Amino acid sequence: MRVPAFTAYLEPDPDGARVSQRSGISDWTDPSLKVIWFGDIQSPGQLNCSLLLRLPADAETKLRLTVAGKSREAAAKGTGSDSVKVDFGSFDIPAAGYQQFTLESLNAPGQSAGNLQTLLLDGPAAVGAQFNLEERRNAASVHLAYPIAGATNVDAFYCEVTGQETPLWTYFEACGWHRGYFGMQVNSPTERRIIFSVWDSGNEGVDRKKVGAQDRVPLVAKGDGVFSGDFGNEGTGGHSRLVYPWKTGEKQRFIVTAKPTEATHTICAGYWFQPDQKKWMLTSSWKAPKDGGYLRGLYSFVENFAAATGRFGARPFTATNGFAPPAARGRNRPPRPSATIRRAKRIGWIVSWVSRTDSFFFPRADSSLDPRNTARSSPVRPTAIHPRILFRRRIPRNSKYSVLEAVEHSCAGVRGIAVLAA
């Protein structure tokens, strides 16, 4: 089995060497840097491990590979442009499951360990083994959908999110719907954001300059300190963000509203509860063309969108949420959510369901192979466990409360879901 070097992770510095699909891993000169692969071994037994790399003629390298708690050292001498095989011998894999393959340089600081190309695996334990073989190393998004009865008009979608672990470049999407998404993101060690975006109409997926005025979502309004502009490359549309140091372990609250203004237009607005000021603020609102309807296709997702930290995944978060039919009658039944995960070639992204007794649950996305996780293919549906959803209070349709006031009235001091009628 051939596992490309460019699928490995670097620790502790993800930028400690160059990683590319064309060149593999190069410029590895720091012996404190480790190169790590993760794999799912299906069959116990002997696993023969070797490495293909390139070195300048007569240059030497010494490396150590650790697998299943055992380490083997090997050396190689370069031949110039031809690849050199570094043989680490056999490792005993006692049981099927996930294994970490850790490669270390035993060379002096500043000396190149070689340009790594491929990790080679052979033997009984290599049969059926699964590794990520694609260049993409980020933790792909895991979606949780909230089914709504077809005839229901939803004009508000409320969600509370608590990021329990927040690796760099994680995005927690609290309120997603057919026209956009709303959530919070870790952008750097010192910067975090609240993000609200709405898609244009039409089929342009990359460049908003190609979108005609009749398909664009124009900005209606935005809150203080909020930046607004364009986005592309994942569909196009209007983007807004507020730089704010939201805290790990602290609940954040989001509401998306939809107000049809005519048969073909809907104003979509995102409101976020400012923890310091203890009040709701508008992030931004946009007028969506070729719509004229309410919210549909409700969902949440979590992802780690950068390859360098994909092994850390998008860690579990709890979510408490609800939706607001404008003419809700009788008892609203909790929707049974379903989940999907993006699929990687040869191996599904890793999901472990995290159950919470006090609010909601959300899956964990992780591109590494961790023995604490359970591999699943897309789509997946939770069956053994499901959210504990509590409906606390319904606001009558002729209520004096606005949507935001109704959320305050229904959710203050309670755990669970508030289903509102505007």
Identify whether the C-beta of residue 394 lies closer than 8 Å to the C-beta of residue 419. Answer: yes
Classify burial at 263, counting beta carbons within 10 Å of its beta carbon; exposed 0-12, middle 13-18, buried 19 or more.
exposed
b/e sequence 216-241, b meaning 16+ C-beta within 10 Å = bbebeebbeebebeebbeebbbbbbb
Please state, in angstroms and rounded to a whole number, the distance separating the CA atoms of residues 294 and 53. 57
Please state, in angstroms and rounded to a whole number, the distance separating the CA atoms of residues 415 and 124. 52
Parallel, antiparallel, or unpaired: how do β-strands 139-145 and 130-131 relate?
Answer: unpaired
pLDDT of residue 141: 65
- Mean predicted confidence (pLDDT) in 185-211: 92
52 versus 295: which is more confidently predicted?
52
Identify whether the C-beta of residue 395 lies closer than 8 Å to the C-beta of residue 401. Answer: yes
The residue assigned the tokens 């398909």 is 215
Query: Over pLDDT 90: what percentage of the chain?
Result: 46
Considering only 4-13, 201-210, 240-249, 342-351, which range has the smallest mean pLDDT?
342-351
What is the pLDDT confidence band of residue 385, given thresholds at 50, 70 and 90?
A: very low
Give the global pTM.
0.64
Q: Is the pLDDT at 364 greater than 50, yes or no?
A: no
pLDDT tens sequence across 307-346: 555 444 444 444 444 544 443 323 333 344 443 333 332 2
Please state, in angstroms and rounded to a whole number, the distance separating the CA atoms of residues 235 and 201. 9
Q: Is the pLDDT at 407 greater than 70, yes or no?
A: no
417: DSSP letter: B
Considering only 27-31, 229-233, 418-422, which range has the smallest mean pLDDT?
418-422
Q: Where are the domains of the chain?
A: 2-131, 139-411
CATH fold group of domain 2-131: Jelly Rolls (2.60.120)
pLDDT tens sequence across 117-153: 999 999 999 999 988 887 766 666 666 777 776 677 8
pLDDT of residue 14: 83
Q: For 246-249, which contacts have Cβ atoms below 8 Å and span 24 or more sequence positions?
A: 246/163, 246/184, 246/192, 246/194, 246/275, 247/275, 248/163, 248/164, 248/165, 248/166, 249/162, 249/163, 249/164
